[in-house]
A and B are shown apart, each in its own frame.
Chain A
Amino acid sequence: MSLQSVSPHALCSFSFLSSCSPQTVPFRGSHWQTSLLAFRASLPVRAQPKKKKKVDVKREQAQKDRMKKKIKKLEKAAPEMIPIEDFVTPLKYSDSNRVRSLPPLSYEETERRVLLMKKWCLFKQKQDKAEKQAIRSLLEAQQEALKELRLESEELYQAAIRRDEGLFPFERDGPNYTPPLPGYDPPEGKCVDITKVYTQ
C-alpha cells in the first residue's frame, strides 16, 4: 500500500503524456479506486497480450502427433543391412595397372602341378585314414575299460561316466615355430583398433 501511495505522483505526469487522449482529465472511476494506476494492475506494456489458452493446447498437440507419426514411419522402415567388408572389393583394387604380368605356364609346369596334386590327394587320404583308425582304437580301448569297470563295481562305473563339468571350455596355446626365448624383452607399442563398428 505504501508503494502505491508514492508512485502515482511520479508517474502521473507520464500517463498524461503517453496516453492516447491528452485532453481527458484523469478521474476516478469510482470512490473505491484510490489511485489512477490501480486500474492497471501491472506496469504499462506495449505488446499485444497472448492469445487464449485453448488454441495453444491444440497447436501443441498437433505438433506432438506429427512428431509421433514421423517416428513411427522411421521405426517401420526395415533396418539397414550391415555391409560385410570382406565381400566388398574397394574400387582402387580393380584398376588395370594392378594386373600382374607374368609369363604363361609351360607344359612341363602344368604337368608337374597336376601330378603333385594327385600325390597330395593320396597323401591326405592316407593321413585321414590313419587319424580315423587312431580315434577308433582310442574309443575301443575306452569302451573295454568301462566294461571291465562295470564288472568290478557299479558305483565306480557311474562315477566314471558322469560328465566332467570342468573340462570345457578347454583352452590351449598352440605350438609355435621356435620355443620361447628366455629373458626376451619385446618392444613396446600401442595397438589402435580401427575396425568400423556399424549400428542398425
Chain B
Amino acid sequence: TAVAPRSWRLFGAMCLLRLPRVTQPLEKEEEEMAALMGQIELEKSHYSDYEIRKLGEEELLRKRKESMYDDDEAPGKTVIMAQDLEEKWEQKFLQFEAAPRITDADKNNNRTSLNRKLDSNLMLLVKQKIGNQEQWLLPQVEWQPGETLRSTAERAMATFLGDHIQAKILGNAPYGIYKYKFPRAIRTEDNVGAKVFFFKAFLQSSDLSQTELKEDYLWVTKDELGDYLKSEYLKKVNRFLLD
C-alpha cells in the first residue's frame, strides 16, 4: 500500500512538570474561614481529659495559695503539672528548625535549579534551533515512522535529560497541538509546515545530578512562560496547563 506523502512534519514535545513540594500559602478569606471554623469547633466541644487535668491542677494551686499554712501530704513530692509539660514541649519545639520554604535558589532567582518555587509546578524549557533561529521551546524531537507519538515524546525527554530520567507520562493521547506553516522560502509541496504534539509527564525523581544537559535549559512556572515563549506558542501551551 502506497503511503501518501505527508505535507505536515510531525514533532513530539514533552512538557515535563515538577510537582509542588510545599503547600501554597492560604488566601485571606481562607485564613479567616479557618480561624472561624476553629472557633466554632471549640465552642461546640466538651472538655478533653487533658483540659480537665489542667483545670483540676489550677484549682489545687488556687487552694494552696489561699490556705498557705495548710501543709499537704508531702511537700517534697514532685508532681508533674500540665503547665510544666507544656513548657517542656514548647522548648523542644523551639529547638527544632525546619527547612525553609523559600530556598536560596528563590532568592538568587536561579532559574536552572529545581529547588525554586517549591509551591508551584515547574516545567522544562530548552533552547532549540528551529530553521536558523534559536528559540526557547518545550523539548521536542521529530517523529520517526514506526513509533508512536508518545515514544517520540519520551525520546525528546531522553535526548535532553538522559536515559535515567523517571517520569510518569499521563496517558497515550496528546494534550495539545501547535501547528505552524514554514515561511514561503522553504515551503514545498510536501513540506507545508509542522505539527507539534504536546505530551504531559510528572517528574518522579527529585534529583537530576546525573543528567548532563547539553543545551541551555530552564525550569519555569506557568507565569514565567511568557518571558520565553512566543505568543502563539504560548497560547496553545497555556490551554493545557492547570495552575
Contacts of A145 in B (CB 8 A): 173-177, 197-198
Q: Chain B, interface size: which category?
A: 35 or more
Q: Which B138-190 residues have C-beta < 8 A from chain A? A: 148-150, 168-177, 179
Contact check, A164 vs B172: say whether CB atoms are below 8 A apart.
Answer: yes
Complex CA–CA separation, A162 to B150 (angstroms):
11
Partner of A181, one of B36, B99, B168, B175: B99
A128 is an interface residue with CB less than 8 A from chain B: no
Contacts of A137 in B (CB 8 A): 239-240
Q: What is the number of residues of chain A that contact chain B, defined by CB distance less than 8 Å?
A: 43
With A159-B148, A160-B149, A167-B170 in contact, do A180 and B23 touch (Cβ < 8 Å)? no
Contacts of B100 in A (CB 8 A): 178-179
Interface string of A116-148 (1 = CB under 8 A from B): 100110010000000000110110111011101
Contacts of A179 in B (CB 8 A): 21-22, 99-101, 103, 118
**B55 to A, closest residue via Cβ:** A97
Complex CA–CA separation, A100 to B45 (angstroms):
7
Complex CA–CA separation, A119 to B22 (angstroms):
27
Which label, helix, strand, loop or mixed, suits the secondary structure of the A interface? helix
With A99-B46, A164-B172 in contact, do A142 and B240 touch (Cβ < 8 Å)? yes
Contacts of B43 in A (CB 8 A): 100, 102
Contacts of A148 in B (CB 8 A): 177, 179, 195
A185 is an interface residue with CB less than 8 A from chain B: no
Contacts of B148 in A (CB 8 A): 156, 159-160
Contacts of A141 in B (CB 8 A): 175-177, 236, 239-240
Complex CA–CA separation, A119 to B98 (angstroms):
34
Contact check, A160 vs B172: say whether CB atoms are below 8 A apart.
Answer: yes
Complex CA–CA separation, A160 to B172 (angstroms):
5
B79 is an interface residue with CB less than 8 A from chain A: no
Contact check, A160 vs B174: say whether CB atoms are below 8 A apart.
Answer: yes
Contact check, B101 vs A178: say whether CB atoms are below 8 A apart.
Answer: yes
Contact check, B101 vs A156: say whether CB atoms are below 8 A apart.
Answer: no
B33 is an interface residue with CB less than 8 A from chain A: yes
What are 30 contact pairs spanning A and B, CB under 8 A? A100-B42, A100-B47, A119-B29, A120-B29, A120-B32, A123-B27, A123-B29, A123-B30, A138-B240, A141-B236, A144-B176, A145-B197, A145-B198, A149-B174, A152-B6, A153-B6, A156-B148, A156-B149, A160-B172, A161-B172, A164-B171, A172-B202, A175-B19, A175-B21, A177-B98, A178-B99, A179-B21, A179-B99, A179-B101, A180-B99
Binding site for A on B (CB under 8 A): 6, 8, 10, 19-23, 27, 29-30, 32-33, 36, 42-43, 45-47, 52, 98-101, 103, 118-119, 148-150, 168-177, 179, 195, 197-198, 202, 236, 239-240, 242-243
Which 3 interchain pairs have the tightest Cβ spacing? A145-B177, A141-B239, A98-B46
Binding site for B on A (CB under 8 A): 93, 97-100, 102, 113, 116, 119-120, 123, 134-135, 137-138, 140-142, 144-146, 148-149, 152-153, 156, 159-164, 167, 170, 172, 175-182
